[in-house]
Structures are given as C-alpha cells and as structure tokens.
Structure 1
Amino acid sequence: MARRRNPFDIFGDFDEMFEEMLKEFENMGPGEHESGPFFYGFSINQRPGEEPEIREFGNIRPESGKIEIGERKPLVDVFDTDKTVQIVAEMPGIEKEDVELSAEGRELEIKASHGERKYHEFVDLPADVDIDSAKASYKNGVLDITLNKIQRPSRKKRINVE
C-alpha cells in the first residue's frame, strides 16, 4: 500500500533524495568512494515580496538518479546594494592563485582548481556592473567580489504629442 504523504511535510522530497544517495553509497564496491568528501546542499533565500530562491551546491548531482562526482558548486550569496553588487563564494581548500574570474554582461564566472579540488559556477548579476571596478579577495576559504553598478544618469525630457 502506498504511503500517504503529510501535506505539511516540506522536506519529504529531500528525505527521499538523501535515502537514494545513501543506497548508492552502500552499493558501491570497495575503493569506489574513497575519493571523497561528498557533499550536497541547498540554500533558500527569500527577499520581501519575491518568490523564494533555492540554490544547490556541492559535488554530488542527485537529480540524475546517480551520484556523479565532478566540479563542486560553491555556496554563493549575492548582495545587491544601492551602488554595488557583492558576491561571496565559499571555496575551501584552494589558494587565491587558483581562482579565475571573468564577467560578461550580467554574468560572472567563477573557476578554481587546486589538486583534485575543483569549483565552477556561473552567477547571474542583478544589475549592470562596471567590470573595470571589480575588486576580489580570497581569505580563509571565502572569495569576496565587489563590482560597482553602472550609474546611468536619469534626465527629464519633454515629449511632444503629435
């Protein structure tokens, strides 16, 4: 008989995904999972008046039904202020020399590789930014990037009606 799901159980799907991941680990042969660590997570961010944003991070891709180890997706937070856009990415286990950043339009690409540890993520920026203003620092596993917004002067113009 099928189990009835409690409509108030918002984590039911996550429980099922976690159980599937554990089964995959149990079915692996010796030595197949010694290249860890394995991690998967998500962050939920909700701004007032907007729908919640759910972002995944980690080096396991459970959506395929199998455990696929690859590049890690760092946990990334984007802060939109009046004059700047700040991006904070958690990428432990690398050196600042390992980080590559590039930006085009409203997209920032973060790449880093140190030994077997690899990170890669595309970040959608919430505003147009001045790429030449970019400042980045990496300390204690945290990458901090600040970009100035492009300030477009607003001007008033009279429009003739024909």
Structure 2
Amino acid sequence: MGDLLNQVSKLAEQAGEFKKEGEIKFGEKVKGIYGINIRTLAGGEPKVETFGNIKKTPKGPVVEEVREPIVDVFDEKDHISVIVEMPGVSAEDIKVDVEDDILHLSAATGERKYSKEVLLPPKVKGEPEIAYKNGILEIKLKKMS
C-alpha cells in the first residue's frame, strides 16, 4: 500500500497516469479482477477510476461475471473520441450502441465479458466510426454543428 501512496504522490506533483491492477482467486473457478486508474492533467485534480469485476456491496465484495473496462472520453474539435481497453475479445464480439447521450458498450467471448455505459457530451450525431486493434477499441462520434 505504501508503494501505491508514493506513486499517487508523485502523480499529483506531475501530470501523468498511474494504473495498478491485480487478480484475486476465490476458490478454483471464481476469479476477480480489480484495478484503479489515477490520472492528472497539469494543474488539475486527480481523477480516480476503478475497473474490473469485483464490486463493493453492503454485504462485502462480490465477483461479477462481467468486467467494467477502462474508458477515456476526449472532446475533440469536431468529434468525440472514446478509447476502451477490452483485451481478449475479437472485433466481431463487440457491440456498440448510441442512445441519445449514452454509449452502450459490451463484448463477450469465452471467459471474457465486458459491459459499460458511458455518458457522452451532448450533441453527437450519426453512426460511430469503430476501430479495434490489440485490445483497444477506438470510437469516434461526430458532433452536431
């Protein structure tokens, strides 16, 4: 834990990103993935995002079948760019749907299952442009003029 706090402290001093993840086994067949992604921009507040399939509940941690991937949203001049980490699936397994200002992402193959809903900045139009390579999904959505 001390190493994590040292990394976070260094991150706060300089713009950057820190990612830590691990695997926890609950018996022979149940495996949990949990991680944190901490990011800061120059002069900005750190942003902490959790990912994986271990969720906190009032009764304690629960391992879900579906993982929540890491997602970054970038508001570019003429489009919104969404970058998603989904290793272990193929492009054919990925489903992307846009409904108003919500981006629905899912993928399933064998043991790997992902799902996430992402709130988009308003005013996107048309069909998303999608590219998937080496576990990274890139989605571009055009902005309304």
Q: Same fold (TM over 0.5)?
A: yes
1:42 counterpart residue number: 36
| SS of equivalent to 2:61 | coil
> Taking structure 1 as reference, are residues 80 and 33 closer, same or farther at Cα in structure 2, changes over 3 Å only?
farther
Task: Report how many residues are paired.
Answer: 125
- Structure 1 residues 63 and 141: alpha-carbon distance in aligned structure 2, compared to 1, 3 A threshold: same
Q: State the SS of the aligned residue for 2:122.
A: coil
Report the Cα distance in structure 2 between the residues aligned to 1:48 and 1:82, rounded to whole angstroms: 20
The within-5 A match list for 1:2-41 is: 32-36=27-31, 38-41=32-35
Alignment of 1:98-109 (within 5 A): 98-109=93-104
User: Mind listing any 5+ residue stretches in structure 1 that lack a counterpart?
Assistant: 1-8, 12-20, 152-162
Tell me how large the CA RMSD over aligned residues is: 2.5
Task: Name the amino acid aligned to 2:133.
Answer: K
Stretch deviating more after TM superposition (98-107 or 67-76):
67-76
Gaps of 5+ in 2: 9-22
2:61 pairs, out of 58, 61, 66, with 66
- TM-score normalised by length of structure 1: 0.66
Cα deviation, residue 53, structure 1: 3.8
- Greater strand content: 2
Q: Tell me what 2:106 maps to.
A: 111
Identity of aligned residues (%): 35
Distance 2:36 2:94 in 1: 23
Given that residues 78 and 86 in structure 1 are in contact (C-alpha distance below 8 angstroms), is that contact kept between their aligned partners in structure 2? Answer: yes
Letter in 1 for 2:76: T
